[in-house]
Amino acid sequence: MLAHSTKLGWILVNKKIISHSQLEFALNVQFCENKKLGEVLVEQKLISREELELALKEQYWRRNGYWVI
């Protein structure tokens, strides 16, 4: 569960910032253009830079075992 719960896309979908279909779209673009997922999401205007920053902070804290729900 930990590996899944630390993925950026999962965090954004879980928080209902993006939908599963938006994540699938962004992952396809990411693969084709060889970019970072966050970069694609912001470029496609699916999330704001602020939302990306908050999600990346959460990802960092979850990976390091400091996130409390």
CB 56 within 8 A of CB 50: no
Positive/negative CA dihedral, 20, 5, 53, 14: positive
6-34, pLDDT tens digit by residue? Answer: 899 999 999 999 999 999 999 999 999 99
Is a pLDDT exceeding 60 seen at residue 1? no
Alpha-carbon distance of 47 to 22, in angstroms, equals: 10
pTM for the model = 0.84
Lowest mean pLDDT among 1-5, 27-31, 56-60: 1-5
What are the residue ranges spanned by the domains of the chain?
2-63
Share of the chain above pLDDT 90, in %: 80
Query: Do 10 and 4 touch, CB atoms closer than 8 A?
Result: yes
